Structure 1
Amino acid sequence: MNRELTSDESSAFSRMLKTVRQKANRNRLRDDYVEAKKKLEKIGFSIPENMKDFQNVIGWAHKAVKVPASRIRPDGFILPNGSSMLDDLHDTVDGHVAVLERMAIEASLQNSAAFVFTTPGDPDLGEPDVVVTARTALEATAEIDPRTWRVTAALEVVSQSVVLLYKPGMTLQVERADGGWRVTRESNGIPDKVPCVPYVWGRSLKRPFGRSRVTRPLMGYIDSGVRTMLRQEVTAEFYSAPQRALLGADESHFTDAQGNRISPLKALLGGIWALPDVWDEDEGKLVRPSIQQLAQASMQPHSEMLRTIGLMVSSETTIPVGYLGIIHDNPSSADAILASESDLVAMVEDELASINLSRVDLARNILAVKNGEWTPAMERDLRGLKSRFLDPGTPTMAAKADAGVKFAGAFPDGDPEVAMEIYGLDRSQIERMNIYRAKQAAGSRLDTLLAAAKSSAAPVFSDGSTVSGPVDEQLKSAQVMKAQADALGSLRRAGVDAADAAAKAGLNGVKFIPGNPITIREGA
């Protein structure tokens, strides 16, 4: 395919490409600060010309991005009503996609926004069925509907001559040729969906794509800090050795018997300084030379100034001053450290709602690409889908255990999963606990049936339920069902088709959920 862009396509393409290029210089500047590559442009009169290359870099910009990003810890999704699609979603998001998403979140703090694209994979190239890629604001942008805040178009810069344009239900590969841009490839996507999700930090009405953590005040403070450290370096260079002044000396004191000049350094390294008196013509008497040592310049003013700048950086970034290398005279207690982090934790918690919107949109895009469609039924099944995050604070194990015990005491009949979340368990640990609890419940039920069969009494299970009819018949039915289920599992793991396996095990009419056991290898 090789065609020109339509008027609508050309208009959207030009607008978004112009946005990427306009923001590029500012985004590169922020990247230089974060990566500690930015050097001062205006040094100041107090720095000698030959010492300008001594300027140090300060990692405050990296701290401003990395510290809050490390407190944002996604941990799967929650769906109150449950759905088989949730398992498919977790299978896709875990692993590579989870790491990619963490990088996108960090990039959004650095450049205010990052963009995550979801496209079908190519099995012939060994790709998974869903390919998720992330781009920084230097490589992508999007347009959103101001009323619904949904993405209406997106642009991904692959190289200087190749750009991908995403429209609802369509992806265009646009290449530069003969000084213009032409569509060289067109592929259909999910109808009415643009497979792009912006991850935004600091989203607001005036700034729908947020704002960077590397603000203009922060960049100014970093420049001031570098100048302060450079002045301190100059002071250390000139005053590291004691400075001496020799008063009343004559030139003859620095010449040998043959009239050759003695090196001042050689004279300085002499074991004992002993100079004869000198006749002073003006005073008409002998004057004894005297040596005086000049006081070394103090580093304290520079240290105090750097400390002041660090406090301003802490105020601007909401990061505890101790994280910036500014150490207090007295070590802080554990309670004081938690109190100093309260603003940081509150700031991160405030942003989790925005990140949740992005994560839920990404989940919908992944499932839409995975199933090849997005239907009203799928939308209903995923109603109430929310992203789960681990606690952005740093509570101790004892504090989490205490909170879990108090919750269980206040709500003895509450949801065990909620209690486990309060205990601080992550999603994988909660899943393992649920599997263990299910096994224990099944074993306990079978033991109850066996005990009731021996006593001929009606069994009462741990959940308070009982059985009707003769106990022997209930026990026999349970044992037969267990044997059939074991046979069905063995046949399925051996690779037998689901329907055939159910028929051979005597379980005709069993309804299977989508998916296969993990031990089954898919056929070619």
Structure 2
Amino acid sequence: MADYRGIEYLRKKLNRKRSRVLRRYKFYEMKNIARDMGIATPPSLQWLQAVLGWNAKAVDSIADRLEFRGFRDDNFDMTGIFRMNNPDILYDSAVLSALISSCCFIYISKGEDDFPRLQVIDGANATGIINPITNLLTEGYAVLERDDNGKVTVEAYFVEGWTVIYRNGVPVQLFEDNVPAPLLVPIIFRPDAKRAFGHSRISRACMSITESAMRTLKRSEITAEFYSFPQKYVVGLDPDAEQMDKWKATVSSLLQFDKDEEGDSPTLGQFQQQSMAPHLDQLKMFAALFAGETGLTLDDLGFATENPASQEAIKASHENLRLTARKAQRAFGSGFLNAGYLAACLRDDYQYYRNQVYMTTPIWEPVFEPDAAMLSNIGDGAIKINQAVPGYFNADNLRDLTGINMSNLSVTPEV
């Protein structure tokens, strides 16, 4: 116990990081407010706010392409544990949360039937001290419940061998286990030696570009008012003339001005009409910067260029996105493997060695689903390679390429 930092240290650590995670969730949920420069916005339009969904697009473009299939050589039936815990929701929830906050956690506990339960906790409600070798925690802390005002009501402290549940700051339950690590497993996006808890998909550059684009949208919205109704003026009108209604004068198709006693008449004019082109060009510039930062294309951000003709063209235009997705698969697969390993130890009440699961590998569906032309190319390539190296391609690695499972239906020929 002397080597542990303690729950109070982890509480303070979470409070330091929580605001950063919540800020990224605001950008993802499009609830962020861009600071106004206070130059081009009239006081009567200070309330106007623009909304932009580029950050949600950047996250979803990766999350929607990551489909976890399970484990190969699953000697401890870890896939079965995940299947008993709503895997369709669990995997997607963990992937999405980790992409936004750089790291989420899977909380493992025993259910009423003593079978492991898995719950995803976002990075704003959990933290810990990580072991850089195994990527498991040495101790962890998680907020399990908050009241309507965001105050912590139920929290948990994890160390190897036991978990303590706190309610309103007071320990109320102690759960002992025979598991070689705390029952809180990190799922990390793009970890490195300096930042063991990874990097968020919504980077500082993404947030800065989005705020600049939001200000551009706001300025264009204000300019559109003057673009729709250009400002007009009247010169030489008699000061004693009857005042006209400005709005009626703006939308009226015919105005009448009589000459005065000296025979002079007022001069009508119109200011130059505001142009929307500079705002559109600036917004497109920010879209290009955001696309370069995230590996998207201008088509993804709403600026239509030209439609790719084939799956290969789509893959070529999203090459950076594909590399990011493959990198995420490796990191998330390791996290899911760690969660399955600890859940298997909890299920069997036995401390398996970590090296006993080294042959178990996470498998994912293809990042890009192949079209008919791509399937034909894969088939031709598999035939030629199998002719050169018999048995090189089989049902397993072909599914890894195509994402299509082999049919198990047996067809009886007609007699």
Q: How has the CA–CA distance of structure 1 residues 61 and 107 changed in structure 2, closer, same or farther, with 3 Å as cutoff?
A: same
1:223 corresponding residue in structure 2: 211
Q: What aligned pairs does 1:161-200 form with structure 2 within 5 A after superposition?
A: 161-176=153-168, 181-200=169-188
Q: How has the CA–CA distance of structure 1 residues 379 and 119 changed in structure 2, closer, same or farther, with 3 Å as cutoff?
A: farther
2:149 corresponding residue in structure 1: none
Measured after TM superposition, the shift of residue 148 of structure 1 is 4.1
- Read off the aligned partner of 1:135 and give its amino acid letter: I
Measured after TM superposition, the shift of residue 331 of structure 1 is 4.6
Does residue 248 in structure 1 map to residue 242 in structure 2?
Answer: no
Q: What do residues 161-216 of structure 1 show as CA deviations (whole Å, max 9, x unaligned)? A: 3321111121112344xxxx543221211242322221111111100000112222
User: Greater share of helix residues, 1 or 2?
Assistant: 1
Q: What aligned pairs does 1:386-465 form with structure 2 within 5 A after superposition?
A: 386-411=361-386, 413-414=390-391, 416-422=394-400, 424-426=402-404, 429-430=405-406, 433=408, 436=409
Q: What aligned pairs does 1:347-366 form with structure 2 within 5 A after superposition?
A: 347-366=324-343
Whether the aligned pair in 2 keeps the contact of 1:400 and 1:422 (CA below 8 Å) is no
Does residue 213 in structure 1 map to residue 195 in structure 2?
Answer: no
Does residue 310 in structure 1 map to residue 287 in structure 2?
Answer: yes
DSSP-derived class of the 2:378 partner: helix
Correspondent of 1:156 among 121, 142, 166:
142
Q: How many residues are paired up?
A: 402
Measured after TM superposition, the shift of residue 324 of structure 1 is 1.5
Correspondent of 2:94 among 99, 104, 107:
104
Greater alpha carbon shift after TM alignment, 226-235 vs 290-299: 290-299
Q: What do residues 474-517 of structure 1 show as CA deviations (whole Å, max 9, x unaligned)? A: xxxxxxxxxxxxxxxxxxxxxxxxxxxxxxxxxxxxxxxxxxxx
Whether the aligned pair in 2 keeps the contact of 1:278 and 1:289 (CA below 8 Å) is no
Distance 1:422 1:63 in 2: 26
Distance 1:115 1:270 in 2: 64
Correspondent of 2:347 among 356, 367, 370:
370
Structure 2 unaligned spans of 5+:
146-151
Distance 2:125 2:90 in 1: 16
Structure 1 unaligned spans of 5+:
1-5, 256-260, 281-285, 445-524
Distance 2:71 2:92 in 1: 15
Q: How has the CA–CA distance of structure 1 residues 287 and 70 changed in structure 2, closer, same or farther, with 3 Å as cutoff?
A: same
Whether the aligned pair in 1 keeps the contact of 2:135 and 2:186 (CA below 8 Å) is no
Q: What do residues 415-461 of structure 1 show as CA deviations (whole Å, max 9, x unaligned)? A: 532353155245xx34x53xx5xx78xx99xxxxxxxxxxxxxxxxx
Q: How has the CA–CA distance of structure 1 residues 369 and 263 changed in structure 2, closer, same or farther, with 3 Å as cutoff?
A: same
Whether the aligned pair in 2 keeps the contact of 1:43 and 1:52 (CA below 8 Å) is no
Q: How has the CA–CA distance of structure 1 residues 202 and 275 changed in structure 2, closer, same or farther, with 3 Å as cutoff?
A: same
Distance 1:267 1:156 in 2: 65
Distance 1:369 1:326 in 2: 51
Distance 2:371 2:232 in 1: 57
Q: How has the CA–CA distance of structure 1 residues 104 and 246 changed in structure 2, closer, same or farther, with 3 Å as cutoff?
A: same
Measured after TM superposition, the shift of residue 311 of structure 1 is 0.9
1:478 corresponding residue in structure 2: none
2:30 corresponding residue in structure 1: 36
Measured after TM superposition, the shift of residue 279 of structure 1 is 5.6
- Read off the aligned partner of 2:58 and give its amino acid letter: A
Q: How has the CA–CA distance of structure 1 residues 422 and 262 changed in structure 2, closer, same or farther, with 3 Å as cutoff?
A: closer
Distance 2:285 2:208 in 1: 14
Q: How has the CA–CA distance of structure 1 residues 240 and 186 changed in structure 2, closer, same or farther, with 3 Å as cutoff?
A: same
Q: How has the CA–CA distance of structure 1 residues 251 and 116 changed in structure 2, closer, same or farther, with 3 Å as cutoff?
A: same
RMSD: 2.7
DSSP-derived class of the 1:384 partner: coil
Distance 2:251 2:283 in 1: 36
Does residue 384 in structure 1 map to residue 359 in structure 2?
Answer: yes
Greater alpha carbon shift after TM alignment, 311-320 vs 407-416: 407-416
Structure 1 or 2, whichever has the larger Rg, is 1
The two structures have a TM-score, normalised by structure 1, of 0.70
Q: How has the CA–CA distance of structure 1 residues 405 and 367 changed in structure 2, closer, same or farther, with 3 Å as cutoff?
A: farther
Does residue 202 in structure 1 map to residue 190 in structure 2?
Answer: yes
DSSP-derived class of the 1:193 partner: coil
Measured after TM superposition, the shift of residue 146 of structure 1 is 3.2
2:53 corresponding residue in structure 1: 59
Distance 1:7 1:422 in 2: 47
- Read off the aligned partner of 2:398 and give its amino acid letter: M
Measured after TM superposition, the shift of residue 332 of structure 1 is 4.9
DSSP-derived class of the 1:275 partner: coil
DSSP-derived class of the 1:100 partner: helix
% identical equivalent positions: 21
Distance 2:255 2:131 in 1: 84
Which structure has the higher relative contact order (CA within 8 Å, separation 6+)?
Answer: 2
- Read off the aligned partner of 2:111 and give its amino acid letter: G
Whether the aligned pair in 2 keeps the contact of 1:199 and 1:355 (CA below 8 Å) is yes
